[in-house]
Amino acid sequence: MPSPHTEHLYPVILAGGVGSRLWPRSRRRTPKQFLDLAGTGRTMLQEAYDRMTPLVPPDRIYVVTGREYVPTVTAQLPALPTANIIGEPVARGSAAAIGLAAIHLQARDPDAVMAVLTADHLIAEAETLRRILVGAAELAQQGKLITLGIKPTFPETGYGYIEMGEELGCFNGMPARRVRSFREKPDRQTAEAFLRNGNYAWNSGMFIWRVDTILAALATHMPALHAALQALAPALHTAAEADAFRRHWFPLDGTVTIDYGVMERATDVAVFPADLGWNDIGSWAALLEVLPKDDHGNVVQARHFHLDSRNVLVFSRDRLIATIGLQDMVIVDTGDVILVMPVGRAQEVKQLLDALKAAGLEGYLE
């Protein structure tokens, strides 16, 4: 898919998440994005990388992650130049992670267009994603901040929504619209109204913009972060880097997301409505929903032997999981932990982890 607009396109894969609701598979040492959750033989990070290689050469793909995960990224993406792995000494939120990538790219290519992508979401329609990115790279030349909006399929209350306004035309055959407003996670009734209305999309956490555009937006809306990045920039890849991070990065307020810090305040924001077969796999329930099922409606990532079990997710590396009469259940065996719960309680894994920590059993989170 050669295009003049992809020559300066740099996919930046954010891979710093923790994915705690997919415990006990997702652990501190190997969070969700480093796991082959779908059983495809490739981890989610590898899938995110694979989606970009038809579009750009490996040396234009960047990964931002926690410094402790740099060896994992290196091992999982051997073709990626090590200079393209940006290790944060500590996480300081998505705005800071994006800003850090931006100053890396700015030093390399003043005309860089960055595509901020996620490593922990499932995207079935990779070809559509690439087509949109090429279109967005074209639109980005107008100095717009661009987001990808996912067509909502049910009134989810756990996501932010994008209210879409007037059409801006088609780019690489993909239609874009102006963003009228960003909406925080709505209540059920509001979410249902959004769905009926048809002009709302889920906020996917994927963005495209010129590097100079986003840095200018940071200067306007997050001046402290912008100043820190300006101070950091000359120290990157030098002996002064560690000290610069200590002085400018560690004190940053890490709670500010790019959505809240920039997108909601900016005026010239566009959205590509994207039908990507997207799923954030936010929980075991989501995995059970999206992964291919066997003849009995079960997601089987184990040796599973059962009588009359339906809509069950089973995972184990080496044990036989035998079930009788189960329905809508999740069973995950990681060798040291066996988690069993009804799929309807999958959101409560987070509370379970909090309780484990409180009980001094933090070792099971590592």
Which residues lie near its own copies (CB under 8 A)? 24, 305-307, 316, 319-326, 329, 331, 333, 335-342, 344-345, 348-349, 351-352, 355-356, 359, 361, 364
* d(C-alpha 190, C-alpha 292), whole Å: 32
Cβ–Cβ < 8 Å for 213, 106:
no
In angstroms, give the least distance from the CB of 288 to its own copies.
14
DSSP SS3 for 195:
helix
* d(C-alpha 66, C-alpha 140), whole Å: 28
Cβ–Cβ < 8 Å for 99, 218:
yes
Q: Give whole-number Cα distances, 93 to 78, 115, 225, 283, in Å.
A: 27, 17, 11, 21
Strands 85-88 and 62-66: parallel
Q: Smallest Cα–Cα separation from 213: which of 134, 135, 268?
A: 268
Cβ–Cβ < 8 Å for 151, 198:
no
Q: Which is nearer to its own copies, 231 or 355 (CB)?
A: 355
The count of C-alpha atoms lying within 13 angstroms of the C-alpha of 103, restricted to the half-sphere facing its C-beta, is 21
In angstroms, give the least distance from the CB of 295 to its own copies.
15
Cβ–Cβ < 8 Å for 173, 248:
no
Q: Which is nearer to its own copies, 250 or 305 (CB)?
A: 305
Q: Which is nearer to its own copies, 180 or 310 (CB)?
A: 310
In angstroms, give the least distance from the CB of 326 to its own copies.
6
In angstroms, give the least distance from the CB of 20 to its own copies.
13
In angstroms, give the least distance from the CB of 335 to its own copies.
8
In angstroms, give the least distance from the CB of 302 to its own copies.
9
Handedness of CA 5, 10, 14, 15 (dihedral sign): positive
Amino acid at 250: F
In angstroms, give the least distance from the CB of 122 to its own copies.
23
**Distance linking the first and last C-alpha atoms of the chain:** 42
* d(C-alpha 103, C-alpha 64), whole Å: 12
- Residue 141 has a CB neighbour count (10 Å cut-off) of 15
Query: Residue ranges of the alpha helices (H) in 2-140?
Result: 44-52, 70-76, 93-108, 126-140
Q: Which is nearer to its own copies, 239 or 324 (CB)?
A: 324
Q: Which is nearer to its own copies, 168 or 337 (CB)?
A: 337
Q: Could you give the dihedral angle defined by the CA atoms of residues 100, 101, 104 and 108, in that order, rounded to the nearest 10 degrees?
A: -160
In angstroms, give the least distance from the CB of 30 to its own copies.
18
Q: Which is nearer to its own copies, 84 or 316 (CB)?
A: 316
Q: Which is nearer to its own copies, 231 or 340 (CB)?
A: 340
* d(C-alpha 68, C-alpha 164), whole Å: 39
DSSP SS3 for 53:
coil
Q: Which is nearer to its own copies, 124 or 338 (CB)?
A: 338
Q: Which is nearer to its own copies, 75 or 324 (CB)?
A: 324
Q: Which is nearer to its own copies, 24 or 66 (CB)?
A: 24
In angstroms, give the least distance from the CB of 348 to its own copies.
5
In angstroms, give the least distance from the CB of 224 to its own copies.
40
